[in-house]
Structure 1
Amino acid sequence: MAATTTGTTRRTGRTAPATARVLRPRRRPAPAGRSVRRTVAVVVALLFLLPVLWMLLTSVSADSDVFQFPPKLLPAWEWSNYARAWSRSPWLMYFGNTVLIAGAVVVLVLGTSLLAGFAFAVMRFRGRGVLFLVVMSVLMVPQTVLLIPNFLIAQQLGWYDTYLIQIVPWGASVFGIFLLRQFFVTLPRELFEAAEIDGAGPFRMLFSVAAPLAAPSLVLVGLNSFMGSWNSFVWPYIMTKSDSVRPIEVGLQAFYGSDGTDWTGLCAAVTFTTVPIIVLFLFLQRYFVSGVYGTQGSVRG
C-alpha cells in the first residue's frame, strides 16, 4: 500500500493527503418532527396574540358585551368608541411628550452604554472589576423601594413635574452597559493594537473601530430603551402632575373613575397608542433575535 502510494505521488508530482475527508450529507429532520415544531410554534404564537386580539375586539364592542360570557366572536363594531376615547384626553400633547422623553432617553442611554461598555471591556484601570460588579448590582435593587427617596430628591432639585425628572434618571442602562461590554470583549485585540500603532487614542478607537461594529447591539439597546420609556407609567405618574409634561401611559388613567372603568374606550385608546411601538418593533425585530454580530473578516492574517 505504501509502495503504491509512493509511486502514484512520483508520477503525478502531488503529495497524497495524510487523511481523507469523508463528506457526509447533513441529516434533515423528519417531516413528522418539523410538523410538531411548527404546530407548537403556531400554538405559542396564538397564545401571545390572544390578549391583543381580545383588546381589538373589546375596542369595537358595545358596553353591554364586555362582560358577556361566553364572549361574542363578532363584536358590534362600535367605531364610535375610538372617537370617544380620542376626545377624552389631549393625545397629541401626550404623543409629543412621549416622543421627546423617549428620544432623549435613547440618546443618553446609547452614549453612556457605549462609553461605559468600552471602558469596562477594553481599557485597563485599577478597580475595573469591582466597579463593574457595583454597576451590575443595581439590577438587584427593586425600583419601588427607591420611589420615595427619588421623589424627595426631585423636589429638592426643583425637577418635580418637569421633563428632566423623566429623562435624566433613566439616562443610563445597566442592561445597555452589560450588553456593549460583552460585545466589545469578543472583538479581536488586534483591532485596537493596530489602531494604537496608527496613533489612535481611546476615543478614536471607540468611534472609528468599535462603535461601527457594535451597530446591531446599539440598535437593540436603543430600541429596548425607547420601548421602556414609551411604556413607563409608575414613574411619570408619581413625578408629574400636569398634562403638559405627562406621557401617553399616564393619559390612559382618564378611563378609570369613581363610576367604574370605561373598558371599551380604554381598549380603543390602548390600541391607537400601541400601534406606533408595534410598527417600530416590526421594522427592527431582527435585532431582537440576532445572535451573531459581524466581526468575522475584521482581522486579516
Structure 2
Amino acid sequence: MDSTTTLPAAVPDPQVADRATKLRERADYRANRKGWLGRGLIIALLTLATVVFVYPLIWLVSASLKPRSEVFDNKLIPESPTIENYITIWQEAPLALWIGNTLLVTVLAAVAVTFSSALVAWGFSYYRFRGRDALFFLVLATMMLPGAVTMIPTFLIWDALGQVGTLTPLWAGNLFGSAFYIFLIRQFFLDLPRQVFEAARIDGATDWQIFTRIGVPLCKPALVVTLLFEAQAAWTDLMRPLIYLRDSSTFTIPRGLKAMLDQFGFAGNWHWELIVTAGVITTVPMIILFFIGQRHFIEGVATTGAKS
C-alpha cells in the first residue's frame, strides 16, 4: 500500500450520536427546569414581600374613602366610597399650615445635615493629620449614646437660647452633622481615586474647589441617600415636636396628628376615618420624594462602602 494513501475517516454510529443528543437535551431540560424553578421561587417571594409592604398603604387609602361605620370592615373596595373625609379634615384641622411647617423643617434639616456631614466626612477622608483615626472613632462612639441620655441637656440648651416653642430645635442641630451620615459619606469618599484630587491641586485648585467641584459631584449618590434618609426622618419625627412645640400654629404633621387623636377621640368614640385620611395626605409626599430620587438612592445604597 502506498504510504501516502490516507485512511477514510471513521463514520460515527447513528445510534450513539442520537443517544448523546438525547442525553444533552435531557441535561439542558433539567438545567432549565431548575433555573425556572429558582426564578419562580424568587418571583413568588418578592411578590409576597410586595403584598406585605403595600397592603397597609392600600388599606389606608381604602379606609379614607369610607364612612366611620365601615372603616374597619377590612374590605379593600369601599361599598359606598366618599371624599367627604378629605373635605372634613381640611375644615377641622389646619393641615396646610402643618404641612408647610413640616416641609420647612424637612428641607432645612435634610440640607443642613447633608452639607455638614459631607464637609466633616471630606476632612476625615482627604486630609492626613495626627489623631485622625482616634477622632473619627470618637465621632462614631457618639452613635452609642441613646437619645434619652442627651434629651434633657439638649432641651436645656435650646431653652437657654429661647428657642423652645419654635421650629429651630427641630433642624438646627443638624448643622453639626450626624455620625452615621459622616461614616456613610466618608466611606464613599475613600473609594474615589486620590490621583484626581492631586491633579486638581497641581492645576491650582484650592481645597474648597476640590471639595465642591470634584468631591461633591462624584459623591452625589451618597449625598442623595443622606438627603432622603434625613428627609424621611424629619418628616415623620414626633418626639422632638412633642418636646419643643406648644402652639398649634407651629405644629408639624406628626405633632398635628397626635393633636387630632386627642381632638377626635372622646368617650371611646374615635373618628378613625379622619385620622386615616390625614395619614394618606401626609404619606403621599414621601412616596413622591422616593420616586423622584429612587435611581440615586438605589445607586448610593449599592455602591456606598464597596471597594473599587
TM bucket (normalised to shorter chain) is: 0.7 to 0.9
Match of 1:91 in 2: 95
Query: 1:41, CA displacement in angstroms?
Result: 0.3
Task: Return the match for 2:221 from 210, 216, 221.
Answer: 216
Task: Return the match for 1:189 from 194, 208, 212.
Answer: 194
Native 8 Å contact 1:89 1:254 kept in 2: no
Mark the structure with the bigger radius of gyration. 2
Match of 1:227 in 2: 232
Match of 1:139 in 2: 143
Native 8 Å contact 1:88 1:254 kept in 2: no
1:130-279 equivalences under 5 Å are 130-171=134-175, 172-257=177-262, 259=266, 260=268, 261-279=270-288
* Structure 1 unaligned regions, length at least 5: 1-26, 296-301
CA offset digits 1:183-208 (Å, max 9, x no partner) = 11111121122122222232121112
Task: Return the match for 1:124 from 104, 120, 128.
Answer: 128
Q: Which moves more between the two structures, 199-208 or 216-225?
A: 199-208
Give the residue type in structure 2 aligned to 1:72. K
Match of 2:9 in 1: none
Match of 2:75 in 1: 72
Q: Normalized against structure 2, the TM-score is what?
A: 0.81
Distance 1:220 1:74 in 2: 36
Distance 1:113 1:33, change over 3 A: same
Query: 1:211, CA displacement in angstroms?
Result: 1.1
Distance 1:121 1:150, change over 3 A: same
Query: 1:169, CA displacement in angstroms?
Result: 1.5
Distance 1:211 1:74, change over 3 A: closer
Give the residue type in structure 2 aligned to 1:207. T
Deviation above 6 Å: which 4+ runs of structure 1?
A: none
Native 8 Å contact 2:60 2:276 kept in 1: yes
Could you say which structure has the higher helix fraction? 2
The question of 1:102 aligning with 2:95 is answered no
Task: Return the match for 2:48 from 43, 55, 61.
Answer: 43
Distance 2:70 2:143 in 1: 43
Query: 1:67, CA displacement in angstroms?
Result: 4.1
SS of equivalent to 2:249: coil
Report % sequence identity: 34
* Structure 2 unaligned regions, length at least 5: 1-30
Distance 2:115 2:75 in 1: 50
SS of equivalent to 1:112: helix
Q: Normalized against structure 1, the TM-score is what?
A: 0.82
SS of equivalent to 2:248: coil
Match of 1:3 in 2: none
Root mean square deviation, CA, Å:
2.2
Distance 1:100 1:255 in 2: 21
SS of equivalent to 1:124: coil
Query: 1:244, CA displacement in angstroms?
Result: 2.5
Distance 2:190 2:109 in 1: 25
